[in-house]
Amino acid sequence: MGFFRSWSIALIAPRGGVGGVSVLRWTCNRRLVYNRAMKDDIARMGDTQREVVVALESLGLTHAEIAVYQASLALGPRPASVIAERAGLKRSHTYNILSSLQKKGIVQEIIKNSVRHFSCCQPTALVGMINNQLEDLTVKKKKLERVVPLLENLRGPLSKKPKVRFYQGQQGIQEIWEEILRTPNEAMYSIVDLEFSWSRDEEMRHWLKSFIQRREDKNIWWYAIAVRSPTCDRELAKRSARRRHVKVIEGLRLPAEITVFGTKAALTSTKEEMVGVVIENEPIVDTLRAIHQYLWHSLPDYEITDAAESLASSPPAE
């Protein structure tokens, strides 16, 4: 046939089944392609046989390996030439497949009368093979988990891929703050202008009160640099003062809030369209924390006026 080469792969159907042996033909012209005969054979294949083929393919077996395994299973211990004839393959090709199945633990070789015979494992042993692989994967996973911190320490700060996540809407903003609560014993470092805070929305006030309570219970301190304003006076007077330290900055207008917590930084804008972003990047987070700390040491504490204290229970001005 010159440049072209063809061969057939037989899939052994259960004895008594329709068709007896279903032959799948592969044609190679530099690469394997299905020909019309193969498609017709697959179409004629019974549901049971198709289920068998799919299950064996899930173990990583090729069509040729499935054919050899089924032939060996039907014949019992036999020489490669007998298995090749039953599978519809050339003997040399069958030897290669048997060698591959031996490496996978599916076929064993025995010597009878100085002749090599091949026998496949029982079908139930295939399940045992999967269980052994699962146990092996569990051991490998535990070993890897132990060394992951060591591998992370080997990564340079500039090689760590940054993570940026965007959030929208009320639930998105709440999720950002809930993430803060999932980092217990970590302080929050914020720069905030409560004139632009979502806390002025009555619907959100109840949730914010719950958040502050849970933050305090988790021992998370809030170190805030806040722009002085009547709104800020009133809001701070209303809120619990436990586990918070607020310093004041004058003459700024900050429509977005910056909060650094743990290894992350959050930027949120909540007065009009509620949007936020969480950044996990060590250089950026360290820079924002350093700016906060620099300002912190140069600013006075935020002193709430007596007038604000007396108005703490009044509704915010429109």
Q: What is the pLDDT of residues 75-116, one digit of tens each?
A: 888 998 899 999 888 888 888 989 888 888 888 888 888 889
Single-letter amino acid, residue 156: G
Is 156 inside a domain boundary? no
pLDDT in tens, 12-71: 444 443 333 343 333 333 333 333 444 454 455 567 777 888 888 877 888 888 889 888
Based on the domain organization, do 28 and 112 belong to the same domain?
yes
Tell me the sheet residues that pair with 231.
none
User: How far, in Å, CA of 37 to CA of 139, rounded?
Assistant: 46
Determine the Cα–Cα distance for residues 54 and 130; give it in Å rounded to an integer.
Answer: 16
Note whether 117 and 211 are same-domain residues. Answer: no
CB atoms within 10 A of CB 253: 9
Question: Which CATH number does the domain housing residue 116 bear?
Answer: 1.10.10.10
What is the per-residue DSSP string for 46-64? Answer: -HHHHHHHHHHHHTT--HH
Binned at pLDDT 50, 70 and 90, residue 129 comes out as confident
For residue 10, how many other CB atoms are within 10 A of its CB?
Answer: 24
Spatial separation of the C-alpha atoms in residues 83 and 73, rounded to whole Å: 10
Contacts of 296 (CB under 8 A, 6+ apart): 223, 225, 247
Last residue of a domain, one of 100, 121, 142: 121
CA 238 to chain centre: 42
Count of domains observed in the chain:
2
Q: Could you give the C-alpha distances from 276 to 27, 109, 133, 220, 290, in angstroms and in order? A: 57, 65, 44, 21, 21
Q: Is residue 83 part of a domain?
A: yes
Query: Using an 8 Å Cβ cutoff, are 220 and 185 in contact?
Result: yes
Which pLDDT band holds residue 159 (cuts at 50, 70, 90)?
low
**Same domain membership, residue 305 and residue 168:** yes
Helix, strand, coil shares of the chain, percent, nearest 5, are 45, 25, 30
Judged against a pLDDT cut of 60, whether residue 274 lies above it is answered with yes
Domain containing 24: what range? 5-121
For 29-42, the pLDDT digits (tens) are 333 333 344 445 44
Using the 8-state DSSP alphabet, how is residue 104 labeled?
Answer: T
pLDDT level of residue 126 (50, 70, 90 thresholds): confident
Report if pTM > 0.75: no
pLDDT at 296: 96
Given 90, 121, 152, which residue is the final one in a domain? 121
Is residue 148 included in any domain, yes or no?
no
Q: Are residues 115 and 180 in the same domain?
A: no
Q: Is the pLDDT of residue 166 over 90?
A: yes
Domain presence at residue 149: no
Q: Which residues pair with 11 in a beta bridge?
A: 22
Residue 146 is predicted with a pLDDT of: 87
Same domain, 96 and 170: no
